[in-house]
């Protein structure tokens, strides 16, 4: 998502990662996050397939768009949702209600302390991590196209 304070947001993310002793991958993309002079524990990319990347992560921090949320759930890893607008607060709430991520942190309320706590939660809460794995397995086992075709045929 585009960001009106990319330098400040980058510093916030880097400080939260350092405080939790976690490595990170920053998707610079439209957000304009600053990717110069990153510590050795943080890697920046402009674009990457989420279906490949997310299953390799301990957790995903994202804006809560429907597609990114679905990719995170399918990967079977917890999500921290930082909603900006639109349907993103809804998807962040669904992640929390399903127990596969903490309560969303709206962008305007994002602080180093809140993000640090959320990261700590998703990497240390074994029940949350297990629920994420189980939900991911369920989603991966679905045949969405066949189900959609069956529903359409029921409407005929």
Query: Distance between CA 20 and CA 22 in Å, rounded?
Result: 5
Instruction: Write out the chain's pLDDT in tens, 156 residues.
Output: 556 676 888 899 999 999 999 999 988 765 556 667 789 999 988 889 999 999 999 999 999 999 999 999 999 999 999 998 999 999 999 999 999 999 999 999 999 999 999 999 999 999 999 999 999 999 999 998 999 999 999 998
Q: What is the CATH number of the domain that holds 127?
A: 3.40.50.2000
Residue 118: the pLDDT is 98
How many CB atoms within 10 Å of residue 34? 17
The predicted structure's pLDDT at residue 111: 96
Residue 59 to residues 5, 19, 37, 120, 121: CA-CA distances in angstroms? 24, 16, 23, 10, 10
Residue 1 included in any domain: no
What is the Rg, in whole angstroms, of the alpha carbon atoms belonging to the chain? 16
In a domain, 35, yes or no: yes
Residue 71 is assigned to a structural domain of this protein:
yes
Query: Mapping DSSP to helix (H, G, I), strand (E, B) and coil, where does residue 141 land?
Result: helix
Per the structure, how many domains does the chain have?
Answer: 1
Answer yes or no: is 18 within a domain: yes
Owning domain of residue 47? 6-155
Residue 6 confidence (pLDDT): 67
């Amino acid at each position: 998502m585009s960001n009106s304070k990319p330098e400040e947001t980058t510093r916030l993310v880097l400080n939260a990662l350092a405080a939790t002793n976690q490595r990170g991958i920053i998707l610079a993309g439209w957000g304009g996050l600053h990717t110069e002079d990153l510590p050795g524990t943080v890697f920046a990319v402009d674009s990457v397939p989420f279906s490949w990347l997310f299953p390799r992560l301990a957790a995903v921090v994202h804006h809560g768009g429907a597609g990114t949320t679905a990719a995170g759930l399918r990967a079977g890893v917890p999500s921290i949702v930082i909603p900006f607008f639109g349907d993103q607060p809804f998807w962040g709430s669904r992640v929390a209600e399903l127990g596969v991520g903490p309560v969303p942190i709206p962008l305007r309320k994002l602080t180093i302390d809140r993000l640090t706590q959320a990261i700590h939660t998703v990497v240390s809460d074994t029940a949350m991590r297990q629920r994420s794995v189980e939900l991911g397995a369920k989603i991966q086992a679905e045949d969405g196209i066949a189900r959609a075709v069956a529903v359409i045929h029921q409407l005929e």
